[in-house]
């Protein structure tokens, strides 16, 4: 199993968005959706259009924890959802596979390939499907400094787990050691 990082640089996030949009609106949307909700990729890929269109929250049972989750949809993401799902049937999968002509949804392996293609173009390393969730967490923490809230959002048992998960511990270690010399 590969350890993946959040995308820390907002410019790299924008670069990823542009690259993905130039390739496919679906690929761009999965990236935007993931970094704005903080959901695990497995939970994202199970969603249907009706689960997000004209909603203020996403309601689901997490695949990993089997816990009920209620995720708010921010105003910007709501507009993106409305635009992306225009013309799609309510029962349709939110992220259709082009290979099956939309009969089934895209799989996590394909999402991994999509993200790694764009990351390679942007010069990013250690990118995977968890990068979306970690990017959400990293930037949420940077904005709010509220590890307890983020721990709750992620359903983590301990704040230290949340800090390590989003890469803040490594940032702190890097900062401390870079100025240390004997």
Mean local confidence (pLDDT), 11-31? 98
**pLDDT for the residue numbered 81:** 98
**pLDDT for the residue numbered 174:** 85
Which residue carries 């993200």 as its tokens? Answer: 115
**pLDDT for the residue numbered 3:** 85
Q: Which tokens belong to 136?
A: 């959400």
Let me know: does 84 contact 29? Beta carbons within 8 Å.
yes
Q: CA–CA separation, 67 vs 61, rounded Å? A: 5
Q: Is 89 a catalytic residue?
A: no
Q: Is 40 a catalytic residue?
A: yes
Strand segments (E) across the chain = 57-61, 68-72
Q: Is 57 a catalytic residue?
A: no
Q: Is 139 a catalytic residue?
A: no
Q: Which tokens belong to 56?
A: 């203020």
pLDDT for 2 beyond 80:
no
Residue tagged active-site, from 26, 40, 69, 139: 40
Q: Is 156 a catalytic residue?
A: yes
Q: Residue 60's beta-bridge partner residues?
A: 69
Q: Mind listing the pLDDT tens digit for each residue in 56-103?
A: 999 999 999 998 999 999 999 999 999 999 999 999 999 999 888 777
Q: Mind listing the pLDDT tens digit for each residue in 112-121?
A: 999 999 999 9
Compare 107 and 169 and report the one with higher pLDDT: 107
- pTM, full prediction: 0.93
Residue tagged active-site, from 26, 69, 130, 134: 130
Residue tagged active-site, from 26, 133, 134, 139: 133
Identify the CA nearest to 43 among candidates 70, 61, 25, 67: 61
**pLDDT for the residue numbered 100:** 81
**pLDDT for the residue numbered 1:** 53
**pLDDT for the residue numbered 32:** 98
Q: Mind listing the pLDDT tens digit for each residue in 122-169?
A: 999 999 999 999 999 999 999 999 999 999 999 999 999 999 999 888
Q: Mind listing the pLDDT tens digit for each residue in 22-36?
A: 999 999 999 999 999
Let me know: does 28 contact 114? Beta carbons within 8 Å.
no
pLDDT for 172 beyond 90:
no
Q: What CATH code would you report for 10-178?
A: 1.10.443.10
What sign has the CA pseudo-torsion 72, 98, 26, 121? positive
List the domain boundaries for the chain: 10-178
pLDDT for 18 beyond 90:
yes
Q: CA–CA separation, 5 vs 133, rounded Å? A: 10
């Amino acid at each position: 199993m590969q350890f993946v990082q959040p995308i820390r640089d907002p410019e790299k996030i924008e670069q990823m968005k542009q690259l993905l949009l130039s390739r496919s609106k679906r690929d761009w949307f999965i990236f935007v959706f993931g970094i704005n909700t903080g959901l695990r990729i497995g939970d994202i890929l199970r969603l249907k259009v009706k689960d997000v269109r004209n909603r203020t929250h996403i309601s689901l049972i997490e695949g990993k924890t089997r816990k009920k989750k209620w995720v708010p949809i921010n105003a910007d993401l709501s507009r993106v959802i409305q635009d992306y799902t225009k013309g799609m049937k309510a029962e349709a999968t939110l992220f259709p596979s082009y290979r099956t002509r939309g009969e089934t949804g895209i799989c996590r392996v394909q999402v991994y390939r999509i993200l790694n293609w764009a990351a390679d173009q942007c010069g990013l390393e250690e990118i995977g499907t968890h990068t979306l969730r970690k990017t959400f967490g990293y930037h949420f923490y940077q904005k709010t400094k509220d590890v307890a809230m983020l721990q709750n959002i992620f359903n983590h048992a301990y704040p230290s787990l949340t800090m390590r998960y989003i890469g803040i511990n490594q940032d702190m270690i890097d900062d401390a050691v870079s100025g240390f010399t004997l």
